[in-house]
Amino acid sequence: MRNRKAQVGDTITWVIATIIIVVMILFFVFGSSLLAETKEVHKFKSRMVSEDSRVNYDLILSKSLYTYFKIEKVKSQNQFYEELEKMELQEKFYDSVEERKKEIQRGFFG
Amino acid sequence: MIRGKKAESKIISVYWFVILLLVATGIIVMVNVFYGSPYDIRRIEAEILSENIANCISPGGEINEDLLSPTEIFKEEFRDNFLSRCNVTLDAQSEFKDIQYYLEIEFTKKDSPKRVLFEIVEGNPNFKEDCNLDGTKHEKLVQCVQKEFYSMGEKGTLYSIKMTSMVRKTEQNAK
């Protein structure tokens, strides 16, 4: 009788262990399916191991900034720049208008 | 007693074998689920398409002289040969498939943004409606990218250029 009790106890342990293993596997399968949905491709810098590996260069913004530097009248240029800043606030660019402007300026005027 | 122990250890080794199989199957399923789902590169593809077109239309802050004459008149010939002039290929992948891209470029004067002066449309307009669907509903159907930038004519007139590029390719990019 005591032997049977021990056997029942052992069986329960194994059954619970099996259930835990199955639940854990299901949890990880579900987790991997969730992770699979987050797979995305971005433009990366050539050096992957850096603090911020994504490239934020926005070519479309650069196009507008090239035009900005071609405007001759200072007043019109300032108005144009304000327009670009408004667009930046509306999150139309990936890049910072100010930083990109400085970078182009360095390229143009050294 | 020894015979009972032998039978018990046999049962336990079968149990361990079953558990091993279960874990192995779980790992195979996990790897398959993760690596089996495709990368959705349509947004990037649409952005690259927009950037190439922006480079073609406005190479250095001024509108391409093949598109806008010195007297600031848009040339029909550029629109007719737009794809070859900008080195863009929007071919379908096979004879039996539709074109999976759509492009729309609108030119307006910066001061009067509602009046469209010139328009270039290429590709398959059938999924244009899908872009107007609410929220994330359309994301699996089609990826739409809208970009806007400014450029200048030879006389110094400022133009606003709105580009809409769409890529469908749902079968290859979304499950």
Q: Are residues B121 and B136 in the same domain?
A: yes
Strand pairing class (B112-123; B158-167): unpaired
The answer to whether the CB of B83 falls within 8 A of the CB of B89 is: yes
**pTM score > 0.80 for this model?**
no
On the question of pLDDT at A2 being above 70, the answer is: no
CA dist., res. A7 & res. A74, Å (int): 91
Output the tens digit of pLDDT for each of chain B's 175 residues: 556 667 767 777 888 889 999 999 999 999 999 998 888 888 888 988 999 999 999 988 899 999 999 888 999 999 999 999 999 988 777 766 788 899 999 999 988 888 899 999 999 888 788 887 765 666 678 888 999 999 999 888 999 999 999 998 888 887 7
Interval A52-93: pLDDT, tens:
656 667 888 999 999 999 898 899 899 999 989 998 898 888
Using an 8 Å CB-CB cutoff, list chain A residues near B15.
Answer: 14
Q: Does A80 touch chain B (CB under 8 A)?
A: yes
CA dist., res. A80 & res. A88, Å (int): 13
What is the least distance, in Å, from the CA of B23 to any CA of chain A? Answer: 7
Q: Are residues B2 and B74 in the same domain?
A: no
Domain count, chain B: 2
Beta-carbon contacts of B166 under 8 Å, excluding residues fewer than 6 positions away, are B46, B101, B102, B103, B123, B127, B128, B131, B142, B143, B144, B145
Range of the domain at B102: 38-173
Q: Are residues B119 and B162 in the same domain?
A: yes
Q: Are residues B77 and B152 in the same domain?
A: yes
The answer to whether the CB of B143 falls within 8 A of the CB of B151 is: no
Which of B30, B54, B110 is the closest to A28 by Cβ? B30
Helix (H, G, I), strand (E, B) or coil at A41: coil
Using an 8 Å CB-CB cutoff, list chain B residues near A61.
Answer: 149
What is the maximum alpha-carbon separation in chain B? 106
Mutate to test the interface with A, among B31, B33, B39, B173 (most CBs of A within 10 A): B33
Q: Are residues B111 and B70 in the same domain?
A: yes
- Sheet of strand B143-152, all strands in order from the earlier edge strand to the far edge: B112-123, B101-109, B158-167, B143-152
Using an 8 Å CB-CB cutoff, list chain B residues near A70.
Answer: 61-62, 152
pLDDT score recorded for residue A51:
56
Q: Do B152 and A33 touch (CB under 8 A)?
A: no
Q: Are residues B14 and B92 in the same domain?
A: no
Q: Are residues B83 and B109 in the same domain?
A: yes
Q: Are residues B122 and B98 in the same domain?
A: yes
Q: Are residues B48 and B31 in the same domain?
A: no
CB pairs under 8 A between A and B: 87
The answer to whether the CB of B135 falls within 8 A of the CB of B72 is: no
Among all residues of chain B, which has the CA nearest to that of A72? B156
Write the DSSP string, B76-132.
Answer: HHHHHTHHHHTT-----SSTTS---EEEEEEEEETTEEEEEEEEEEEE-GGGTGGGG
Q: Are residues B109 and B49 in the same domain?
A: yes
User: Does the structure's ipTM exceed the value 0.85?
Assistant: no
Q: Does A7 touch chain B (CB under 8 A)?
A: no
What is the least distance, in Å, from the CA of B57 to any CA of chain A? Answer: 10
Which of B33, B151, B156 is the closest to A29 by Cβ? B33
Instruction: Calculate the alpha carbon distances from B29 to A18, A22, A24, A32, B26 in Å.
Output: 18, 13, 13, 9, 5
Among all residues of chain A, which has the CA nearest to that of B62? A67
Q: Are residues B49 and B81 in the same domain?
A: yes
Q: Are residues B9 and B85 in the same domain?
A: no
